[in-house]
Amino acid sequence: MQTESKARLRTGIKEVKQETVVAVVNSIIGEGARFRGDFELSGLLRIDGDFEGSIESAGKVLVGRHGSAIVPSINARVVIVGGKVIGNICAQEMVTILSTGTVEGDIETPRLLAEEGVTINGRITTKSEQKKGAQDPALIQKEIELARQELDSIPAQPEQD
């Protein structure tokens, strides 16, 4: 499903505004690329390269298997980590860390899914108003598989005018 969203990229030099675009991924830091600055966006940010700065997203942040993010914080609705994050993560809905993922920092989220083999060095705070209890392992595995598929997918390109 494609969504409409607006993204704003702030760097220390200038601010670039992107008009409404129908696309799956708003912003990509590709493998081999390095970016330093602050991201503020309402959609999805995919990091397959090296990022240093802060991230504020009303949507989702994906850190790919080869991606790294050195941040004071990632604030987003959903965060999926397949690479390395050095800094704190605060997600309004969920954080998923795949077996290839490493987080060196604190995590605050209502739901945390972590595959066997992840490395987490920091405090984890899960606060939820929902009823706590054991979840169906099959459902948890399905959610992890969906996160893995999302990281493995080729990002959609914005439509050209």
What does the pLDDT look like over 90-116, one tens digit per residue?
999 999 999 999 999 999 999 999 999
Buried b / exposed e over 81-95, threshold 16 CB at 10 Å, is bbbbbebbbebeebb
Per-residue model confidence (pLDDT) at position 133: 53
Note down pLDDT in tens along the chain; length 161 residues: 333 333 344 433 334 343 333 335 678 899 999 999 998 988 899 999 999 999 999 999 999 999 999 999 999 999 999 999 999 999 999 999 999 999 999 999 999 999 998 999 999 999 765 555 556 777 777 788 878 777 777 654 444 44
Question: Where would I find the beta strands (DSSP E) of 42-98?
Answer: 44-47, 50-57, 60-63, 68-81, 84-97
Predicted structure pTM score: 0.74
- Beta bridge partners of residue 61, listed in sequence order: 45, 79
Per-residue model confidence (pLDDT) at position 101: 95
The DSSP symbol for 69 reads E
Per-residue model confidence (pLDDT) at position 75: 97
CB-CB neighbours of 56 under 10 Å? 17
